[in-house]
C-alpha cells in the first residue's frame, strides 16, 4: 500500500510542470523630514558588490518631500548623500512589503554620526537618541523587530535586517528619544506588539518566556503552558514534527530540528494553552495531520501503528 502510494506520487512529480513564482514588487518610500537636501540615493541588493545608479537621477529630495521606488521584495543596502556630501548608509534592510522610511532631523544626524551623537552640530543631539538592547530569553527565535513612532501609521523597516535574535542572545539599536510602538515576530510568525512605550534614555530589556507568551496571548489566559508528549509506536521513524495553533495560517518551524523521533521513542513539547494542529512526516515522506487538538493540560498521545496508518490513509 505504501509502495503504491510512493509510486503514485513519483508519477505526479514527473508529469507536473515546474512552476515559477515571481518575486512580489513593493513600494519603498523615502520621506525627508530633516533640514538637509538629499542629493543622491542608492539602493543596492545586499548581495551586490556595487551601488548601481543614483535613483534620484537629476532630481533632489528636498526637506519635506518624499519619493517612492518600485522594487522587488528582498534585502537591500541603502546609501544617501546630502547637500554637504555627508553619507548615511543602512545595511541589510529586509523589505517584504510596502515601507515608508522616514528621516527626521535627529534620525538623519544619528545615521550620519552613529558613534559621535552628531557632535559636529550641537551637543543636544547626542542626548536625543537612546540605545536599546533586547535580551531574548523567550525560548523562541525572533526574526523581525519594528519600532515606529506612536504617531506614525506605518511600521517602517525591520531593525534586524538579515540577523536573527536567537533565544539566549541580544541585539542593540538606536532610536531618537520619543514614544514608540514595537512589533516583534518570532520564528512561528506569531506577533507581539507593545504600544505607547516612552523611550527617554538608553535601556536594556529582557524578554522572558512568560512575558513573551503574555504578549502573544493577552486575552486568552494562555500565560500557562502545558506539555504535550508524542509517543511513537507507529513502526516508522518520524523525521518532522510541526505544532501550530489551529487559528494560524502557517506551520512554523520543525520541532525536531536535526533530530529524529525514532520508533519507540517519545518527544515532549511545551506549548501555550490553546487548540493545536499537529503535522508529522515519517521517513517515507508520508504526512499525518491531527487537527484541533485541545492543549489545556498536560497530554500524552500514543501513535500506534493502527492509529498512524489510519491518520495517513483514513477517510
- DSSP for 183-229, please give it: EEEETTS-EEEEEEEEE-S-EEEEEEHHHHHHHH-TTTT--SEEEEE
> pLDDT at residue 54 above 90?
yes
Q: Residue 210 — pLDDT band, cuts 50, 70, 90?
A: confident
Contact 232, 259 (CB under 8 A): no
**Length reported for the chain:** 315
pLDDT at 115: 58
Kindly tell me the burial class for residue 8, based on how many C-beta atoms sit within 10 Å of its own C-beta (0-12, 13-18, 19 or more). exposed
Name the nearest CA neighbour of 213 among 271, 170, 254, 253: 271
User: Phi/psi of residue 165, each to 5°?
Assistant: -85, 90
Q: 82-136: per-residue pLDDT in tens?
A: 998 889 888 877 776 677 777 887 788 878 876 554 443 333 333 467 778 888 8
Confidence of residue 239 (pLDDT cuts 50, 70, 90): very high
Q: Which residue has the higher pLDDT, 200 or 283?
A: 283
3 state SS of 51: coil
DSSP state letter for 154? S
DSSP annotation of 261 reads: B
How far apart CA 138 and CA 208 sit, in angstroms, is 5
Mean pLDDT, rounded, for 210-228 = 71
Return the pLDDT at 96: 66
- The residue with cell 496571548 is 217
2 pLDDT above the threshold of 60:
no
Report yes or no: 63 and 150 within 8 Å, Cβ to Cβ. no
Higher pLDDT, 176 or 37: 37
pLDDT of residue 23: 65
CATH, range 223-313? 2.60.40.2890
Q: Which helix (H) or strand (E) holds 170?
A: strand 170-176
Output the pLDDT for position 10.
41
pLDDT value of residue 111? 83
- Report domain 23-127's class: mainly beta
CA distance 92 to 74: 9
φ, ψ dihedrals at 109, nearest 5°: -65, -35
Architecture of domain 129-216: Sandwich (2.60)
Mean pLDDT of all residues in 45-55: 90
Extents of the domains making up the chain: 23-127, 129-216, 223-313
Give me the pLDDT at residue 156, please. Answer: 83
Mean pLDDT, range 63-76, rounded to an integer: 88
Mean of pLDDT over the chain: 80
As a whole number, mean pLDDT of residues 35-56 equals: 92
Does this chain's domain 129-216 share its CATH topology with 223-313? yes
> Closest Cα partner for 102 from 43, 30, 12, 200?
30
Distances (CA, A) of 269 to 114, 178, 229, 253, 265: 43, 40, 6, 13, 14
Cβ-based neighbours of 268, under 8 Å, separated by 6 or more: 227, 228, 229, 230
Q: Given this model, what pLDDT does residue 8 score?
A: 44
Sheet holding 203-208, edge to edge: 170-176, 129-137, 203-208
Q: Highest mean pLDDT range out of 107-121, 210-224, 280-294?
A: 280-294
pLDDT for residue 228 is more than 50: yes
Q: What is the pLDDT of residue 18?
A: 42
Amino acid at each position: 500500500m505504501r509502495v503504491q502510494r510512493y509510486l503514485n506520487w513519483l508519477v505526479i512529480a514527473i508529469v507536473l510542470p515546474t512552476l515559477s513564482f515571481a518575486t512580489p514588487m513593493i513600494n519603498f518610500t523615502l520621506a525627508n523630514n530633516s533640514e538637509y537636501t538629499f542629493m543622491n540615493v542608492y539602493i543596492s541588493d545586499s548581495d551586490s558588490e556595487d551601488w548601481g545608479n543614483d535613483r534620484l537621477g537629476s532630481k533632489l529630495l528636498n526637506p519635506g518631500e518624499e519619493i517612492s521606488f518600485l522594487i522587488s521584495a528582498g534585502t537591500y543596502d541603502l546609501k544617501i548623500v546630502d547637500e554637504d556630501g555627508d553619507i548615511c548608509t543602512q545595511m541589510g534592510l529586509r523589505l517584504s512589503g510596502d515601507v515608508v522610511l522616514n528621516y527626521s532631523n535627529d534620525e538623519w544626524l544619528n545615521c550620519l554620526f552613529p558613534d559621535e551623537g552628531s557632535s559636529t552640530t550641537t551637543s543636544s543631539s547626542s542626548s536625543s537618541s537612546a540605545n536599546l538592547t533586547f535580551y531574548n530569553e523567550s525560548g523562541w527565535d525572533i526574526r523581525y523587530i519594528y519600532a515606529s513612532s506612536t504617531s506614525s501609521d506605518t511600521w517602517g523597516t525591520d531593525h534586524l535586517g538579515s540577523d536573527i535574535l536567537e533565544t539566549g542572545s541580544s541585539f542593540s539599536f538606536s532610536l531618537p528619544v520619543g514614544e514608540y510602538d514595537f512589533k516583534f515576530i518570532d520564528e512561528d510568525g506569531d506577533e507581539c506588539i507593545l504600544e505607547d512605550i516612552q523611550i527617554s534614555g538608553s535601556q536594556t530589556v529582557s524578554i522572558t518566556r512568560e512575558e513573551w507568551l503574555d504578549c502573544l496571548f493577552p486575552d486568552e489566559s494562555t500565560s500557562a503552558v502545558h506539555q504535550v508528549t508524542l509517543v511513537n509506536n507507529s513502526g516508522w521513524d518520524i523525521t518532522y514534527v510541526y505544532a501550530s495553533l489551529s487559528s494560524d495560517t502557517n506551520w512554523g518551524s520543525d520541532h525536531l530540528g536535526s533530530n529524529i523521533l525514532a520508533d519507540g521513542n517519545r518527544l515532549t513539547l511545551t506549548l501555550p494553552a490553546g487548540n493545536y494542529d499537529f503535522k508529522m512526516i515519517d521517513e517515507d515522506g508520508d504526512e499525518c495531520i491531527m487537527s484541533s487538538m485541545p492543549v489545556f493540560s498536560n497530554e500524552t498521545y500514543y501513535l500506534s501503528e493502527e492509529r498512524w496508518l489510519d491518520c495517513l490513509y483514513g477517510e
